[in-house]
Structure 1
Amino acid sequence: MSVGGKAQTTQTIESNAKKWTLRECVEYALDNNISIKQSELDLEAADADKLDALGGLLPTLNGSASVSENTGLSFNPVTNNAQTTTFLSVTGRVNVGYNVFDGLRNIRQVQRADIAKLASQYRLDKMKDDISLFVANNYLQILTNKANLKTLVAQNEVTLQQIDQTQELVDAGQLPQGDLLEIQAQDATEQQQIIAAENAVTISKVSLAQLLLLDDYASFDIVDSDFEIIDESFSEKPVNELINAAEENRSEVIIAEKNVELAEKDLQIARGAYYPTISAFFGYDTRYTDATSFDTRLADPDNPTTTREIGFVEGTGQSVLSEVPNTETVVVGADPFVEQLYLNDGIGYGFSLNVPIFNGFSVRSRVQRSKVNLERTRYQLEQAKLDLESNVYQAYVDAQGSKKAYEAAQKALESQELAYDYAEERYNVGLTNAFDFSQSKLRYNNAKISLNQAKFDYLFRLKVLELYFGVEPSELKL
């Protein structure tokens, strides 16, 4: 899953950028993250699939027209007679088709499209939860690094004061030169630690800015505050309550359930190919041609018949005469365009039945694959439930452990602070040397850093529990 990277539409923070809160970072990430935008496109594609499935329930309407010119021996499209000439012909058709029955596959395609859209929505929700956790983790890492830097700077200020005090005592001959060198060495070590801590703060801010698709890393910063632990009893809830809430609110199990429903619909659609299909059709067509035709008609109304010799009497050779119509063949021009369209039109309608008998086991193989896929999705659903239960339980245990670690770090800091105060008093009156005092101060600094790490680790574990319990990503707060 991609959660960072550059986008062509990355936005730049203004030079006087504000300091961002966790909620602002989460909301901004949800609006601009590339992975979320891709999931939103999947949702739009699901809408298109549903529109396509709905279209399968509607009749089809198609029109066609053609214009052609024929030279030589061709069939007149109106008279259907062969003619050796050049003529223009125009034909037009309108066809309506409707799928009356196809094994209910069209209806189940619509149902499948609805399920697929819901699955896409839940995948989008899961993506938002994942991005929110990434943002919260990066945000808390900045807070941890800033707290560590603050601790190191504050302790170095004390070291600098001690250097001045020790220098005066050395100059007065009350302390050996070695004590001054020891404290100066401690100052050099602390300066290195401060530089490393500053780099850690910068890198963590750059990491979060990249996650938010911001490119002005130098100006990006978050709110500086001594965040308190806000535990709305999530870590105190029974683990079974958290698991039940996660099964109702988290998307992992719901996505797996929708995949099972999709597999069931695919199986129904595949089985639908076993049934006959019935379709209805209706067609209308007409035609026009500018070709001339030959017509036999009476030449003279006043003399409609004439006498013609039609044979001879065998033996005598006498001619046999008969009266026949007095006609002649004339060339008739084409009727007007509109009149031909009216006179030459026709319609056709009916039903079509298609019975599948043998198709090379293609239907049977599709049904078999659909059955296998259905069983696979059922196993995946069971695995998703087990994974979610395991993840929630792990998050619960992590939260409990981080809480205990935080409480232990508080006690350790209290003890180290007392030890440091005692060592400082002894050093000031010359009862301990600079090395022992610097070691006590180092343990005190480490205890403060450990408390910072334990505190913000506990905060992150609480955010994980909140998401599992159904808190909206944008509602995460410190």
Structure 2
Amino acid sequence: MKINKYNSLVIALLFGFGLTGQAQTKKWTLEECVRYALENNITIKQSELDLKNASIDKKAALGNYLPSVNGNASHSWNIGLNQDVTTGILRNQTTQYSSIGLSAGVDIYKGLQNQNAYRKSKLTIIASQYQLLKMQEDISLNVASAFLQILSNKEDLKVKKEQLAIDEKRYTRSEEMVNAGTIPRGDLFDLKATVATDKQNIAVSENNLLISKLSLAQLLQLKEFADFDVVDDTNVADENNILAQSPIEIYNKAKETRTELKLAQANLEIAEKNVAIAKGAFQPTLSAFYNFNTRASYSDVIRGSKPNTANPTSQIGYVEGTNQAVLQDNYTPVLGKADPILDQFSDNKGQSFGFQLSVPIFNGFSVKNNVERNKVSLEKSKIDLEQKSLDLQRNVYTAFTDARGALNTYESSTVTLEARQQAYNYAKEKYDVGLMNSFDFTQAQTLLTNAQSDVIRTKYDYMFKIKILEFYFGIPIVPIITK
């Protein structure tokens, strides 16, 4: 018999639950599940990091108002024939040169781009907060749905086990009646098949319960989930009397509280700032600058001159007409050590400052295209906000109708169960006195079991849809504490 990986996992988990079931002490409440999910869910942690990034972007936007200041320093070696930058003499030598500088610049006017960028950064933080809150709300609903699914599967398993106990007692009693010759042996075979079917249904229900527990444990990011279980809370009352509200009242309340509308509005305002920033590139920019620099050389410098005794004179030309040579005295430079480094830095320092104006004239339509692109994004944001409002209205009315219908279905299934229970009791009385055969009695029992399952299913469906309706009315599953 081949067992796939999924079945192997289910079998292992079933074995793990069986081993730890006796030692289990903690059962999670719905509030505990939601709290734990909000603190540990990976998606929420990612959204929290997005919020931190938005805060960093705000600091960056604030920094655009401040001047930029940069310092620089260099030291170089020149080997071979080169010119001393201090003396201007070409020599075949090794020289060293140091320089130090400082520069500063500040934007005076930049088409209000810095101001709009800072306002946009604050809106981005608000949008990130709404995004985080929406993520928390979605996780809360998912946890509530998974929690109620566990409760539903628990009750279903309980019904299946009770049914098995009843059928096993019937089988034992029927076996005695067959031995006594009261009923035919064929009825015993039918009951034996019924007991086997009950055991098969229990196995399916246990598997469904395990999978639902596993789903909630994974949603909570639990590492140890073998002994995970929840409290058995089966209260189906509409404690907040939400169905007493009209759909329009719930919708009006939702428009004030729902996070997706606030997020869409924040994104719309961000898109407006993006358009303003893009338009700012059409305007001229004015900035101020200041530069300071100084330098020092480590080479020898000329300190004076003396007559050249080896070659006292040199001819520089002739007298016209007589061709008499014209001579000049030759001198040799007298070199000395360079001035102290600190003195050179003091003597060679220089400064420059001023303003720089840049006027955009033509840039290949890049600025214009950027403005148009951001205008398109703005229109999309407006449509998204309108669509979110329409979606909210539709969702509220749908949720109200679903909750009302779920209540009616639950009440109807309860009435059906009462009738099926009476029919089963009557059939049992007839079966016990031999006025009904085993097949017909099994049919009555099957109808009762189906009615019990319908009550369980409709009850938890109603509970979850009430939670959704309360959610739209601004009543959270658990209060969410913002950081």
TM exceeding 0.5: yes
- The equivalent of 1:452 in structure 2 is 456
Partners of 1:165 and 1:64 in 2: CA distance: 101
Contact 1:296/1:327 (CA < 8 Å) preserved in 2?
no
**Secondary structure in 2 aligned to 1:474?**
coil
Matches within 5 A, 1:42-441: 42-80=50-88, 82-296=90-304, 329-441=333-445
Contact 2:285/2:358 (CA < 8 Å) preserved in 1?
yes
Partners of 1:425 and 1:317 in 2: CA distance: 157
Partners of 1:395 and 1:139 in 2: CA distance: 19
* Structure 1 residue ranges (4+ consecutive) displaced by more than 4 angstroms after TM superposition: 12-17, 79-84, 310-322
Partners of 2:320 and 2:349 in 1: CA distance: 53
Contact 2:306/2:334 (CA < 8 Å) preserved in 1?
no
Structure 1 residues 313 and 421, CA gap change in structure 2 (3 angstroms)? closer
Contact 2:108/2:286 (CA < 8 Å) preserved in 1?
yes
Shift in Å at residue 128 of structure 1? 1.2
- The equivalent of 2:470 in structure 1 is 466
For normalisation by structure 1, the TM-score amounts to: 0.88
**Secondary structure in 2 aligned to 1:388?**
helix
Shift in Å at residue 81 of structure 1? 5.3
CA deviations on 1:109-144 (whole Å, 9 max, x unpaired) are 111111111111111111111111111111111111
Shift in Å at residue 312 of structure 1? 11
Structure 1 residues 344 and 142, CA gap change in structure 2 (3 angstroms)? same
Shift in Å at residue 83 of structure 1? 4.8
Partners of 1:320 and 1:84 in 2: CA distance: 32
Letter in 2 for 1:163: Y
- The equivalent of 1:19 in structure 2 is 27
Shift in Å at residue 319 of structure 1? 12
Structure 1 residues 319 and 125, CA gap change in structure 2 (3 angstroms)? closer
**Secondary structure in 2 aligned to 1:77?**
coil
Structure 1 residues 312 and 199, CA gap change in structure 2 (3 angstroms)? closer
**Secondary structure in 1 aligned to 2:229?**
coil
Structure 1: tracts of 5 or more residues without a match: 1-11, 300-309
Contact 2:305/2:333 (CA < 8 Å) preserved in 1?
yes
- Out of 20, 35, 39, the position equivalent to 2:43 is 35
Contact 1:246/1:470 (CA < 8 Å) preserved in 2?
yes
Shift in Å at residue 317 of structure 1? 11
| Alignment length (residue pairs) | 454
Partners of 1:59 and 1:133 in 2: CA distance: 49
Structure 1 residues 81 and 380, CA gap change in structure 2 (3 angstroms)? farther
For normalisation by structure 2, the TM-score amounts to: 0.87
Partners of 2:212 and 2:319 in 1: CA distance: 124
RMSD, aligned α-carbons: 2.9
**Secondary structure in 2 aligned to 1:235?**
helix
Structure 2: tracts of 5 or more residues without a match: 1-15, 308-315
Shift in Å at residue 274 of structure 1? 0.6
Contact 1:17/1:220 (CA < 8 Å) preserved in 2?
no
Contact 1:78/1:344 (CA < 8 Å) preserved in 2?
no
Contact 2:110/2:280 (CA < 8 Å) preserved in 1?
yes
Letter in 1 for 2:340: P
CA deviations on 1:148-170 (whole Å, 9 max, x unpaired) are 11011112212222223323333
CA deviations on 1:11-69 (whole Å, 9 max, x unpaired) are x9997461111111111111111111111111111122112111111100100000011
Partners of 1:381 and 1:313 in 2: CA distance: 98
Shift in Å at residue 93 of structure 1? 0.4
